[in-house]
Amino acid sequence: MTPLIDVVFLLLIFFLVASRLNQEDRELDVPLPSAANAMPMTVEPQELIVNIDQRGSLYVNGEYMQSEQFEQLLRKSVLDNPLGQSVMIRADRSVPLQTPVSVMDICLKCGAAYSLSIADDES
């Protein structure tokens, strides 16, 4: 029990000292530079939504696309968003499995994260 109390006191002292140093850093009066046309370094990526109908046609954000067009769009999106582009794949439950797998393969090839959901006709 005694060593546990010692450890707790050491942790308490550590956090008290660390919080005091952090507070001193904020109290320094340093004039920071400003920029007139500043933009954030990274823009939060918008999730691409890929809908696959029962015929296996791809609709990206509401627009019909071929697989090649989708791959080009995804490559550009991944380059524009270095923190990671996400893709939501929504497939009709009657679509052949190969179509969503092909879209997942394109996502993996381009380096994008994806999630898959199967749409139900009865909803």
CA distance 21 to 41: 28
Number of domains in the chain: 1
Q: Give 117's strand partners.
A: 90
pLDDT per 10-residue tile (average), the chain, 123 residues: 84 80 59 64 70 90 90 89 83 88 92 81 47
pLDDT of amino acid 32: 60
Tell me the residue range of the domain where 57 lies.
Answer: 48-119
73 in a structural domain = yes
pLDDT of amino acid 38: 62
pLDDT of amino acid 113: 87
74 in a structural domain = yes
8 A C-beta contact, residue 65 and residue 73: yes
